[in-house]
Amino acid sequence: MSNMISLENITFKYPGTEKEVLKNISISIKEGEWTAIVGHNGSGKSTLAKLMNGLYFPEQGTVTIAGIQLNEDTVWDTRRHIGMVFQNPDNQFVGTTVQDDVAFGLENHGIPQDIMVERVQTALKQVKMDDFLNQEPHHLSGGQKQRVAMASVLALRPDIIILDEATSMLDPAGRAEVIELVRELKREEDMTVLSITHDLEEAAKADRIIVMNQGEVYREGTPEDIFAMGQELVDLGLDLPFPLKMAHVLTEKGIPLKQNTLTEEELVNELWTSFLSK
């Protein structure tokens, strides 16, 4: 499979500052893959997303999106390949109603009106918000607003979706809604997903995790590999998912569990079978 996004030797400073936010970073993301980038606040993970979308340009190194090298001339072409969902559900809702918001991106791309109506419908159906066409944003929950944001992205038919802390302002129910939706979309549409998060529970659902620290790639691997780091992750300022924490505490108390328990189900299975293997 080909690379959807590839970053080569990226170094970046914010204009007017001295500190290097990103230091010599190389990452590649394959088509159809769900990658999570985790790291504590200030690790440079959000800056990375902004570089991929040409909101900033790197000082050194190259960004290639779907085979197009990103620079000031190609920025609008590469943006067609990427859809982004941001952190604050309110601040990315441009339209006065749900359907206007989904149509906003289509209007920008000059899509004819009859096709627009159809695409707005389909996109809202995909996120199960098609009953809310004329609803105004302040009558929606955070999770619903993020789903509309996803629909706005889907209507543009991108190849890549970047979730930039998209679930961090939601309540647990809203968070689960959005993550479930991403999983469905990935399965049905074969999209490339990049989620930037500090929630390891969200990251656990990805195919691959990249851990960032101090502007550098600290570790890269499958969720199992990454969670095997245990205490090291906590030292990096990340919060372990509950089943993992539970397993660690149990191990400390003298009840060793054999495998890494990433989900609650795995933990429960491990617990109720642990006496059998004694």
Partner 1 sequence: MMEKMIFGRYIPADSIAHRMDPRAKLIFVFAFIAIIFIANDVWGYVIAAAFTYISVKMSGLSLRFLISGLKPVMILIAFTFLLQLFFAREGNVVLDLGFIQVYEEGIRQAFFISMRFTLLVFMTSLLTLTTTPISITDGLESLLNPLKKIKFPAHELALMMSIALRFIPTLMDETDKIMKAQMARGSDMSSGPLKDRIKAIVPLMIPLFVNAFKRAEDLATAMEVRGYRGGEGRTKYRLLFWKARDTFALLSLVLLAGALAAFRFWI
Contact set with partner 1 (CB under 8 A): 53, 55, 76, 79-80, 82-84, 86, 88, 90-97, 99-100, 103-113, 116-117, 120, 136-138, 152-153, 156
**Structure token pair of residue 149:** 């944001």
DSSP annotation string for 71-105: STTTHHHHHTTEEEE-S-TTTT--SSSHHHHHHHH
List phi, psi (to 5°) of 201.
Answer: -65, -40
Contacts for 203 with CB less than 8 Å, ≥ 6 apart: 36, 38, 195, 197, 209, 223, 226
The residue (of 68 and 229) whose beta carbon lies closer to partner 1 is 68
Helix/strand/coil percentages in the chain, nearest 5:
40, 25, 35
Task: Pick the catalytic residue from 33, 165, 177, 201.
Answer: 165
Residue 138 C-beta: closest distance to partner 1, Å: 4
The residue (of 112 and 254) whose beta carbon lies closer to partner 1 is 112
265 in catalytic set:
no
Residue 16 C-beta: closest distance to partner 1, Å: 16
- 12 close to 22: Cβ distance less than 8 angstroms: yes
Q: Which one-letter DSSP state was computed for residue 131?
A: G
Residue 229 C-beta: closest distance to partner 1, Å: 33
Residue 253 C-beta: closest distance to partner 1, Å: 41
The residue (of 117 and 257) whose beta carbon lies closer to partner 1 is 117
The residue (of 138 and 187) whose beta carbon lies closer to partner 1 is 138
Which residues are catalytically annotated? 165
